[in-house]
Amino acid sequence: MKKRLIQGLFITCAGFSVNAFALGYTADFEACMRKAQSQSDSINTCQIKEYKAQNKRVKHLYKLTLKTTAENEQALVKQSQDVWLQRRDHACNIQNKKAKAFSISNSSCALQMTMSHADMMEVRLNNKNMK
C-alpha cells in the first residue's frame, strides 16, 4: 500500500514537472534566437515559427478546456476565446494575414500575446484538474 502511494506521488510530481516545462518558449525558439543573433530577418523567422507552435498549443488547450467545462458554460468559453482572438489580431495588426506575411513587429506582438494566453490557459486547466 505504501509503495503504491509513493509511486502515485512520483507519477503526479513527474506530471506537474512536464506541465511546468510546457510554459513559456520552446527550446527550439531559444536555440533559433541564439543562432539568429541580431539579424532581423532571422529573428522574424524564429518568432513566426514559435508563434505557430504557441498558436497550436492554444488550440489544443482550448479543446481541452471545452472538454472539461460544463455544457452550460461552454458558450462562455467559446465567446471568451473569440474575444481574445479579436483583441490579439487588433493589437498586433494581423487581420487577414498569414503568419508567414508578418512583419517583425507583428510576429513579436502575436507571439507574446499567444504565449501568454497559452500559459494562462494551461495554468487554469491544471488548477481545475487539481480540484
**Segments making up each domain of the chain, as ranges:** 2-130
pLDDT of amino acid 131: 64
pLDDT in tens, the chain (131 residues): 444 444 444 444 444 433 444 689 999 999 999 999 999 999 999 999 999 999 999 999 999 999 999 999 999 999 999 999 999 999 999 977 789 999 999 999 999 999 999 999 999 999 887 76
CA-wise closest residue to 24 among 46, 49, 53: 53
Chain segment 23-54, per-residue pLDDT in tens: 899 999 999 999 999 999 999 999 999 999 99
| Residues 79, 85: Cα–Cα separation, whole Å | 10
> What is the reported pTM?
0.79
Cβ(104)–Cβ(44) below 8 Å: yes
Distance CA 120, CA 131 (A): 17
Do residues 61 and 125 make contact, with C-beta atoms less than 8 angstroms apart?
yes
* C-alpha pair distances (Å), 33 with each of 69, 92, 108: 37, 21, 12
